[in-house]
Structure 1
Amino acid sequence: MMKHILFAAGLTAGIAVAGAQGVHAQEPYKIGVSAGLTGYAATVDRAWRDGVELAVAAVNAKGGVMGRKLQVVVEDNRSEPQESVTVYRKMLSSDKVDVFISGCVSAGNFAAAGLVVRAKVPMMLCSILPQQPDHLQWAFTTLPPAGFEVDKRLEYLKEKTQIRKIAVLHDPTPYANLQKGVAERNAAKFGLEVVSVDQYKQDDADLSVQISKARAAGAGAILKIGLGGTTLTAAKNIKQLGADMLLLTSLEDLAVFGPVSEVLGDKFFFVASPSQVYEALAEGDLKNGIKAFLDPWREKFKDRDPNWASRGWDGVMLTVAAIEKAKSFEGEKLRAAYEELTGFQGTTGMYNFRPDLHQGITRNPFVLATIEAGKVKVVQ
């Protein structure tokens, strides 16, 4: 009798465990997105979010990953570090997200990194990486090194112009400061001299003081580093001052660049990613990688700039590849699998991660471009 009771109890327990595993397998795998949907980063982070959601829809249409559908949880950090901490904490405690594929507000991702490490939830970011070693262990990025953006502009000035004195105008974000430092260190290698360095705030409505200082120092070009409407402000101030200077800006949404090109015409240049110049690319793996994203993107969003969304798409596809590589959804195993992803063709370039390299793009994918008659044109 006792054997029958034990057998029945064991069978019931086995069914319960199997049932629990079956339920777990059907639960969505939750992707948390901390994004600046308002504030200075809104243009790029809204696109990042849309790219993440587009990729999730594509993965789910094929059945999800390892029997589970993906679900996106998005919170607006208002482009502010403290708000980022709040939304990360909310997604960890209330939403129980499994991984973060978060946007481009570097300071916000830095501020929340401690929470993520303690929860053992990996982050795939649009921003630069945290600097603390224990935080860095759990963070990965789709963003190429900051020097790639800077060097592309310095290279153009050296090879295509007679300008040898430049100014740097940057916002206070970690990424902008990183680029500023690269410009100061690398200018001499391109035969250039940085004669003026000034910082501005993202909500500044006038930059004429900084631009006048750069002109007085003899700068023939300004490297503008930072996102948002201040790029148009700088362009208007250059024109109002009658300054004979080039404006070379960082990566940004083309919606921002259109009005700038109308103000400065052929004195305006910007760093462009491969997805922004898709038609000009040679046939090959990179163009095919972009096409996989660009076809559904254009179907849904028409001519909207694909750059930041393509990175969000990459973030999801890298995560899916890591889950499949690890054969697990568990945080530590996913983190380790990210480190082993090599030869992964994305929309920005080829990703090659290592345990000592969490910034996967190692070859400069950028070109320098301008806008003529409303069309993007590659110049370098």
Structure 2
Amino acid sequence: MLKRIVGVLATATAAVGLLAGTASAADLIRIGSFLSATGPASFLGDPEKKVLELYVDKINRDGGINGRKIELIVYDDGADAAKAGSFAKRLIESDKVDVIVGGTTTAATMAAVPLAERAEIPFISLAGAVVIVEPVKKWVFKTPHTDRMAAEKVMLDLKKRGLSKLALLSEDSGFGKSGREETLKVAKERGIEIVADEIYGAKDNDVTAQLTKIRNNGQAQAVLVFGLGQGPVVVTRNYRQLGMSLPLYHGHGVASKDFIKLAGGAAEGVRLPAAGLVVAEQLSNADPQKKVVMAFTETYQKQFQAEPSTFAGHAYDGLMLAVEAIKRAGTTDKAKVRDEIEKTKGYVGTGGTVTMSATDHMGLGLDAFHMVEIKQGNWQLAD
């Protein structure tokens, strides 16, 4: 379950390299992570793990951070929140890491939050729910857009299409529960009527009962699904099997080509809010993000022969935010690194342009989200 990537590279003879590695062991910068690299959220966690390994190796080859190499310590929690909490504890108490970048799911992240806060260690989460950073927690930050932002983006698109009655189908998971709560709030604010409110289990292999209720209700003009991992795939397939033709929206928890592959033709026409990374080539040349996401996409494709998902991008942004903060701090002193993360301004990443503050530990605006539609097995800008 544990994989260590110790980025100490010998640059001369093996003997010299060994001595250098021994001498610098105390100077290693330790970055810890717990990710859902296997299990039901693996299509989120696996690319995150790959990206952290890839870029830590690259940073070390380029000389490290202020001359110090990185040791990356990664645990696979298998999307089990209890394991995530145990691994976070191990990272803090046994591995003595300087910063944590991880937490694929909301449940896993929230299991680690009190530990990071108590230990006073900077923690950059890769999960989506707004509860991670609201209310603000001194030592906790996140890179993905929130579920509230996703709900707002969907509501704006509904309004643009002249639709005002929405059926909500959410997953009984941390992300799904938070997404449901935020959707209900935003719908009320935006004048969208929720005409159905159904729940499905994260491990359900059939959701036709809930979908049939929505169909028989007869009031909905569109359907929004809030979930991640395998669940949304099941929902999408069942949706088409029932012959439902209303506009189908998903939250940003499915912004991966794996979702399209697993859902197959059933995914055609699905709309969701996503980062510019998935439509990199379609962004305007004037968009400052385009250069960043194009470079990241090229690097990822060359290394893994696959297109990057937004989740891969979340890991990249989390790592880079930590790296840049350590550079600016000139030390791994946890309080100073925390302060520098909070001072991040104008960082252009795969998720958008990040400007944090004492009251905003994510730093993304709604303009960092794009509405995309799945057409012929690919992402298409629908803004």
The two structures share one fold, judged by TM-score above 0.5: yes
Which position in structure 1 is the counterpart of 2:263?
260
Secondary structure at 1:364 match in 2: helix
Distance (whole Å) between structure 2 residues aligned to residue 76 and residue 369 of structure 1: 31
Give the alignment's Cα RMSD to 1 decimal.
Answer: 2.3
2:108 is the counterpart of 1:108? yes
Distance (whole Å) between structure 2 residues aligned to residue 298 and residue 131 of structure 1: 32
Secondary structure at 1:198 match in 2: strand
2:278 to 272, 276, 279: 276
Which position in structure 2 is the counterpart of 1:4?
none
2:354 is the counterpart of 1:351? yes
Normalising to structure 1: TM-score of the pair?
Answer: 0.87
Deviations, residues 213-243 of structure 1 (Å, cap 9, x unaligned): 1122222321000112222211222223222
Letter in 1 for 2:148: G
Seen in structure 2, the aligned counterparts of structure 1 residues 325 and 264 have a Cα distance that, compared at 3 Å, is closer
Which position in structure 2 is the counterpart of 1:118?
118
Secondary structure at 2:279 match in 1: helix
Which position in structure 1 is the counterpart of 2:339?
336
Stretch moving more, 208-217 or 25-34: 25-34
Distance (whole Å) between structure 2 residues aligned to residue 369 and residue 270 of structure 1: 6
Question: Which entry has the higher C-alpha Rg, 1 or 2?
Answer: 1
Normalising to structure 2: TM-score of the pair?
Answer: 0.86
1:312 to 283, 294, 315: 315
Letter in 2 for 1:262: G
Letter in 1 for 2:72: V
Shift, 1:279, TM fit: 0.6
Stretch moving more, 283-292 or 315-324: 283-292
2:91 is the counterpart of 1:91? yes
Distance (whole Å) between structure 1 residues aligned to residue 106 and residue 326 of structure 2: 25
5+ unaligned residues in a row in structure 2: which ranges? 1-21
Which position in structure 1 is the counterpart of 2:209?
209
1:57-96 alignment runs, 5 A limit:
57-96=57-96
Which position in structure 2 is the counterpart of 1:9?
none
Shift, 1:261, TM fit: 5.1
Letter in 2 for 1:356: T
Equivalent residues of 2:133, 2:362 under 8 A apart: no
Deviations, residues 103-140 of structure 1 (Å, cap 9, x unaligned): 3222222122222233322101112454697x811111
Distance (whole Å) between structure 1 residues aligned to residue 274 and residue 379 of structure 2: 9
Secondary structure at 2:49 match in 1: helix
Letter in 2 for 1:254: K
Letter in 2 for 1:317: M
1:166-315 alignment runs, 5 A limit:
166-217=166-217, 218-251=219-252, 252=254, 253-260=256-263, 262-263=265-266, 265-266=268-269, 268-283=270-285, 284-315=287-318
Seen in structure 2, the aligned counterparts of structure 1 residues 154 and 261 have a Cα distance that, compared at 3 Å, is farther
Equivalent residues of 1:322, 1:334 under 8 A apart: yes
Distance (whole Å) between structure 2 residues aligned to residue 242 and residue 375 of structure 1: 22
Shift, 1:260, TM fit: 2.8
1:132-147 alignment runs, 5 A limit:
136-147=137-148
Shift, 1:264, TM fit: 5.1
Deviations, residues 19-49 of structure 1 (Å, cap 9, x unaligned): xxx9457632111111112232211111112
Distance (whole Å) between structure 1 residues aligned to residue 119 and residue 233 of structure 2: 41
Seen in structure 2, the aligned counterparts of structure 1 residues 315 and 250 have a Cα distance that, compared at 3 Å, is same
Secondary structure at 1:43 match in 2: helix
Deviations, residues 314-344 of structure 1 (Å, cap 9, x unaligned): 1111111111111111111111111111111
Letter in 2 for 1:152: K
Equivalent residues of 1:34, 1:102 under 8 A apart: yes
Letter in 1 for 2:101: I
Shift, 1:196, TM fit: 0.9
Letter in 1 for 2:382: V
Equivalent residues of 1:26, 1:67 under 8 A apart: no
Identity of aligned residues (%): 26
Seen in structure 2, the aligned counterparts of structure 1 residues 264 and 123 have a Cα distance that, compared at 3 Å, is closer
Equivalent residues of 1:258, 1:371 under 8 A apart: no
Equivalent residues of 1:55, 1:317 under 8 A apart: no
Stretch moving more, 183-192 or 342-351: 183-192
Equivalent residues of 2:175, 2:228 under 8 A apart: no
Letter in 1 for 2:357: R
Seen in structure 2, the aligned counterparts of structure 1 residues 281 and 292 have a Cα distance that, compared at 3 Å, is same
Letter in 1 for 2:225: K
2:49 is the counterpart of 1:49? yes
Shift, 1:376, TM fit: 1.8
Equivalent residues of 1:255, 1:305 under 8 A apart: no
Which position in structure 2 is the counterpart of 1:7?
none
